[in-house]
A = this chain, B = another copy of it.
Amino acid sequence: MSDEADFGHSDVDTEFGRDLLASVREALAHKRGEIELPYRVYETMPATRVKEIRRKVAKSPKEFERRFHIPARTLEGWEQGRRAPDVAARVLLTVIEKDPEAVERALS
Contacts and interface: CB of A to CB of B under 8 A. Distances in A.
Chain A interface mostly: helix
A66 B102 CA distance: 21
Contacts of A106: 94-95, 97-99
Nearest to A108: B39
What copy number does this chain have within its complex? Answer: 2
A100 to B, nearest CB: 10
Q: How large is the interface on A (under 10, 10 to 19, 20 to 34, 35 or more residues)?
A: 20 to 34
Contacts of A89: 88-89, 92
Interface stretch (A6-14, A24-32, A69-77): A69-77
Interface of A: 38-42, 66, 68-71, 74, 85-89, 91-92, 94-95, 97-99, 102-103, 105-108
